[in-house]
Amino acid sequence: MRKTHGLLALLFLSLTVLSARAELTIEITHGVDNPTVIAVSPIESGQRILPEDISQIVSADLERSGLFQAIDRSNMLSFPRTSGEVYYRDWRVLGAQYLVYGNAERQQDGRIKVTFGLNEILGEKAVLSQVVYGTDGNIRDIAHYISDKVYEAITGIRGAFSTRIAYVTATPGRNNQLVYRLMVADADGARERMMLESREPLMSPTWSPDGKELAYVSFETGRPAVFRQRLNDATREQLTNFKGLNGAPAWSPDGRKMALVLSKDGNPEIYVLDMATRQFTRITNHFAIDTEPNWTPDGKALIFTSDRGGSPQIYKMVLATGAMERVTFRGSYNARPRLAPDGRTLVLVHRDGGQFHIASQDLISGDFRILTSTFLDESPTVAPNGAMLLYATKRGSKNLLAAVSIDAGVKFLLPSREGDVREPAWSPFLN
């Protein structure tokens, strides 16, 4: 992959460069009515203080899901490190339904061995017991791993706390000119890293299926162009350089192709780029605007936005046959389609009463639900476990990210401490 050199407006940072603090904060605004009460006992090393508090990270992860209420450490009657140290009566008094406990040990090679478990209090039984190894530098990875395993053991759904998110920030720079940054962070906003900085707009980040690259749109050449960029060393490559529109990249599930929008032939149409041969294949051919393509999980079809019916609606095209069908019919505006991993739940931007909200539609039953009540909602992206989605919205005059569960029962905000944040993209599972 060739490196792109050039404009002084750009600054490339490898993933080893970390920001001093996370730009995103978490504000939980709504959880389920009867959350599962869980206690997370301190997981510590008696030999040496760990650089971060594993249990605090696990508690925060679980509470952010909206499904759990963590017991404050100051109210705990004991701090068990093994299953044999658990006195169930003490935890029943506190109303705990589950208890997470563990122990961290420093190994001779410097690694940290964390043994952790999950017990059900009412049934007085062990549910989960595992050992994980790591270093001081990936304590948060260990904590997120524990959160994933606990979440899955209780809910039956794979946890997504170890995933990452990409997004674009816009902050005023010199002469009040906006500076755009492509950022990558943990799903909780921690360990934020800047991948690219530009004085020209950055848009539409999307993850490769293996989670090792991002594709996005940059205006650095004077017109929109699609780039791909590796996360481990920030090496990047320009994929399109056509006149007119070059936008909305979306990797195929196998990573071999990329759907995008080009207007090189005069009208915005959907194309598919073969990543090996660099050949473009035109998929749509209509005088209307076809845009915002996204793949079905099996890679056999594309869903996209088109106004070929007179207003923006969602359509599906089977690639092998070219068979086309309209998917949405409710209201006069439905756009930015994204499919949950089950291939059944469609997430989209829907205009309702003059306001833009995030909605979902069951492609089998037709059930249509408006999930958000915030203002000017856009750019939905679904977590790889299908439980939550992120989107961009506004609070006052500020752009920020928000999250809502697919059933709309859980909601939280991720505002930036400074500047606006927009264009979220949730990574695939990374392990």
Are 250 and 206 within 8 A, CB to CB? yes
Element (H, E) at 357: strand 355-362
The closest of 402, 13, 376 to 229, measured between CA atoms, is 13
Coil vs helix vs strand at 172: strand
What is the structure's pLDDT at 7?
Answer: 33
Strand partners, 317: 302, 324
What is the structure's pLDDT at 30?
Answer: 76
Q: What's this model's pTM, rounded to 2 decimal places?
A: 0.91
Coil vs helix vs strand at 211: coil
What is the structure's pLDDT at 23?
Answer: 66
What is the structure's pLDDT at 16?
Answer: 34
Domains in the chain, ordered, with CATH?
11-21+163-426 (2.120.10.30), 34-155 (3.40.50.10070)
Length of the chain: 431
Q: What is the mean pLDDT of each run of 10 residues along the chain (431 residues)?
A: 37 35 68 90 84 95 94 96 96 97 92 96 97 95 98 97 97 89 95 96 97 97 96 96 95 98 95 97 95 97 96 97 96 96 96 91 95 91 96 89 89 82 96 78
Q: Which long-range contacts (CB under 8 A, 24 or more apart) does 389-397 make?
A: 389/338, 389/347, 389/358, 389/426, 390/165, 390/414, 390/424, 390/426, 391/358, 391/424, 392/421, 392/422, 392/423, 392/424
Edge to edge, what strands does the sheet with 36-40 contain? 68-70, 36-40, 98-106, 112-120, 125-134
The closest of 204, 202, 256, 181 to 416, measured between CA atoms, is 181
